[in-house]
């Protein structure tokens, strides 16, 4: 099986690349657009004809995992055209790529497609995005499912884990503590979600691909916390950490883009099909940093 991972320099893409590369009878190529790590190949989803692009024709993928997107929610709110290009247009181009090779597509989406009035949500819940980023994610989801009915849409949120650039929220906090920095935090106490380790996401995706699954799947662990509670989990493991934490409402933070407050996901569908799958928790992940 030949697997092409687009956006493999990011959190989910990087973990997919690592996990898939460890499997028997799987050839994996990871690509990057703006940030190169390791031996990734260049590929511009906005310009599939770019002569600098990786030679997809020669690789002939059986599966394309599309992890690339513009994920800065507030930036998207102020840069609507760029958000559309990097989330919707890029996905449309990947769809065309998959059609060319008759490849299965995996698209990475988010719980932000919901309005956060009544979460956490299962796959059948009514969508109602409240930000530009979320609307474009939903547009991309719908394009994938319409054009490639056998594709897989993965909804995730608050993803954390090992990442070269250490951009995700959990590892940024841990890294600052380990470096002896004092934390100065202003956190929303009313934004709830279901954090998930990117390594678990990668393992789940590989199972779904291997078993020729299709449709929407929520991938999340058992933690259901707000941002303050998430940081408190981390701080409990590092009692020596210095910090100042201000607990605010989302309204007080005055963020440019609206957030789904009672967000998060329910993964009963996935667990019903894979009852022996074990999702790790934030505490499990923090074990690796124990003294």
- Indicate if 77 and 113 belong to the same structural domain: yes
**Is a pLDDT exceeding 80 seen at residue 32?**
yes
**Is a pLDDT exceeding 90 seen at residue 37?**
no
**Is a pLDDT exceeding 80 seen at residue 18?**
yes
pLDDT in tens, 38-61: 789 999 999 999 999 999 999 999
- Indicate if 135 and 173 belong to the same structural domain: no
As a whole number, mean pLDDT of residues 176-183 equals 96
- Indicate if 205 and 256 belong to the same structural domain: no
As a whole number, mean pLDDT of residues 240-255 equals 96
Q: Is residue 271 in a domain?
A: no
Where does the pLDDT of residue 35 fall: very low under 50, low under 70, confident under 90, or very high at 90 and above?
confident
Long-range Cβ contacts of 268-275 (<8 Å, 24+ apart): 268/122, 269/122, 269/123, 269/217, 269/218, 270/204, 270/217, 270/218, 270/219, 273/213, 274/204, 274/207
As a whole number, mean pLDDT of residues 252-260 equals 96
Looking at the 3D structure of the chain, how many domains does it have?
A: 2
Report whether 152 contacts 104 (CB < 8 A): yes
Structural domain boundaries enclosing 171: 167-191+224-263+281-289
Q: Is residue 273 in a domain?
A: no
Q: Compute the mean pLDDT over every residue in the chain, rounded to the nearest whole number.
A: 96
- Indicate if 73 and 204 belong to the same structural domain: yes
**Is a pLDDT exceeding 80 seen at residue 94?**
yes
Q: Which is nearest to 259 in space by CA: 246, 244, 249?
A: 249
As a whole number, mean pLDDT of residues 248-277 equals 97
Q: Is residue 276 in a domain?
A: no
Q: Is residue 268 in a domain?
A: no
- Extended beta strands in the chain, E state: 2-6, 27-32, 41-42, 63-66, 104-110, 152-156, 159-160, 183-188, 192-193, 196-197, 215-218, 225-226, 243-248
CATH number, domain containing residue 109: 3.40.50.720
DSSP line for 163-197? -TT--SHHHHHHHHHHTTPPEEEEEESS-EE--EE
**pLDDT of 71:** 92
- Indicate if 105 and 132 belong to the same structural domain: yes
Return the biggest CA–CA distance within the chain.
55
- Indicate if 71 and 153 belong to the same structural domain: yes
- Indicate if 137 and 36 belong to the same structural domain: yes
Q: Is residue 117 in a domain?
A: yes
**Is a pLDDT exceeding 80 seen at residue 291?**
no
Q: Is residue 52 in a domain?
A: yes
**pLDDT of 34:** 85
- Indicate if 180 and 114 belong to the same structural domain: no
């Amino acid at each position: 099986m030949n697997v092409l991972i687009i956006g493999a320099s990011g959190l989910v893409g990087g973990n997919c690349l690592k996990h898939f590369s460890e499997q028997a009878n799987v050839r994996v190529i990871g690509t990057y657009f703006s940030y190169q790590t390791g031996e990734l190949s260049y590929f511009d989803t906005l310009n599939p004809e770019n002569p600098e692009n990786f030679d997809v024709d020669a690789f002939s993928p059986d599966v394309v995992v599309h992890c690339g997107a513009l994920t800065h929610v507030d930036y998207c709110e102020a840069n609507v055209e760029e958000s559309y290009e990097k989330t919707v247009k890029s996905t449309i181009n990947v769809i065309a790529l998959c059609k060319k090779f008759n490849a299965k597509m995996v698209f990475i989406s988010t719980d932000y497609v919901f309005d956060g009035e009544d979460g956490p949500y299962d796959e059948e819940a009514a969508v109602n995005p409240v930000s530009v980023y979320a609307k474009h994610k939903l547009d991309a989801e719908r394009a994938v499912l319409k054009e490639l009915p056998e594709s897989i849409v993965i909804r995730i949120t608050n993803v954390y884990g090992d990442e070269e650039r250490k951009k995700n929220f959990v590892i940024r906090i841990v890294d600052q503590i380990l470096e002896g920095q004092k934390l100065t935090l202003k956190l929303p106490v009313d934004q709830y979600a279901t954090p998930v380790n990117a390594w678990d996401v990668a393992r789940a995706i590989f199972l779904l691909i291997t078993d020729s699954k299709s449709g929407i799947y929520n991938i999340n662990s058992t933690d259901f916390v707000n941002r303050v509670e998430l940081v408190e989990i981390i701080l409990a493991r590092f009692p020596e950490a210095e910090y100042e934490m201000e607990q605010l409402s989302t309204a007080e933070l005055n963020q440019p883009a609206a957030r789904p407050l009672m967000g998060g996901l329910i993964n009963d569908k996935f667990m019903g099909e894979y009852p022996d799958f074990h999702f790790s928790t934030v505490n499990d992940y923090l074990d690796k940093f124990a003294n």
